[in-house]
């Protein structure tokens, strides 16, 4: 069960520390026939993570993308950057249970993975869980509604 609109692409981006993991996740998405748009970076050369987090967040916020995936070394930088956008709820996920909870309880629309702290195999499991977990709504919806400033 894929809970996000499958007619829209998934926005994906990273900095240099997340490049290898991004490539792994892109291979997974391609293998599943999922649409995606890669916002870079396109090499392991040192870059500034906001240059890639903002375009991914913009794509999700505008409705151009079904959801976003961001990767950097700790995932804190990309999560902080993406969460500056009013319509974004970026969740930092380093294990499957966290990915499940950010979807169920926070209705996260951007998945942030700390590439230096998770294996490629675990990143794939985290992404699968994120994509296939529905928001519970109810009391959680009331809380999510209070997030915006």
Cite the active site residues.
72, 105
Q: What tokens does 56 get? A: 């991914």
**Residues 68, 111: contact at Cβ < 8 Å?**
yes
Torsion of Cα atoms, 76 then 78 then 79 then 80, to 10°: 80
**Residues 103, 136: contact at Cβ < 8 Å?**
no
């Amino acid at each position: 069960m894929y809970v996000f609109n499958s007619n829209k692409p998934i926005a994906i981006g990273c900095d240099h520390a997340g490049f290898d993991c991004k490539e792994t996740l892109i291979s997974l998405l391609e293998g599943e026939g999922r649409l995606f748009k890669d916002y870079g970076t396109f090499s392991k050369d040192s870059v500034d993570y906001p240059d890639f987090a903002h375009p991914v967040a913009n794509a999700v916020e505008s409705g151009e993308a079904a959801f976003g995936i961001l990767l950097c070394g700790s995932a804190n930088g990309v999560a902080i950057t993406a969460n500056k956008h009013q319509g974004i709820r970026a969740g930092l996920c380093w294990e499957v249970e966290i990915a499940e909870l950010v979807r169920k309880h926070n209705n996260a629309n951007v998945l942030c993975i700390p590439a230096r702290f998770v294996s490629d195999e675990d990143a794939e499991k985290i992404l699968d869980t994120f994509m296939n977990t529905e928001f519970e709504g109810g009391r959680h919806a009331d809380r999510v509604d209070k997030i915006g400033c």
